[in-house]
Structure 1
Amino acid sequence: MDQDPVATNPELYRVLFENERVRVLEYRDRPGEKTVAHSHPDSVMVTLSSFRRRLSSHGREVDVELPSGLARWLPAQSHSGENTGDTETHTIFVELKEPAPEPKAGDEPLGPAPS
């Protein structure tokens, strides 16, 4: 990981669990709060609240709105984000430490993460 979110945004991310295969992060922010650029390996994200965010990566911006209770696969990525809604963002990330397998036909990324 180039830019560990726990190092770049320590007030927003915290490690809940870590071993040699996975790291579990909790992310929380309030409306208007922003993250600086950071990276995630392949991960599973679980939304614990509904929220709206603006994600920025490589000169592109994407607005996302996600409901609570969603579990979603996220391919490795780097981005920054901003809470553009009126609710707190609360998510859990299960980051994989194992290298990704070679992609198979039909394996398509689902888009950027919320943070």
Structure 2
Amino acid sequence: MVAKKKAVKTAKTECKKTDAYPFIRKAALLGIGIAAITKEKAESLAKDLIKKGDLNKDEGKKLVTELMTKSKKSKKEFETTVNKQISVMIKKANVASKKEIKVLEDKIKKLEAEIKKQTKKK
């Protein structure tokens, strides 16, 4: 009878841990600043949640993996957005790109060579 009560209590505890996982995961994703999370921070968060009994070890590992995956994705998306915005601002400011400058430098070299040729002929 005591073993049965203990098994039921353990099952309820495990069920609560599993039910809490989606909520904890969402809160962690929102609250940590997902693009800036390091693996150490993610592991520390998971370790704290495991200690509190909010997650089991497997859920903790899953949380760390998911946080790192989302962190990398968010970082790439952020970089893409920033690069696009910088390009738009440069175009609006009429600033020449490296490629455009290189084309102009090549044209100047050709013109200088042509002038040199013409000067030598005289």
Point out the structure with the larger helix share: 2
Point out the structure with the larger strand share: 1
Q: Highest CA radius of gyration, 1 or 2?
A: 2
TM-score when normalising by structure 1: 0.18
Greater RCO (CA < 8 Å, at least 6 residues apart): 1
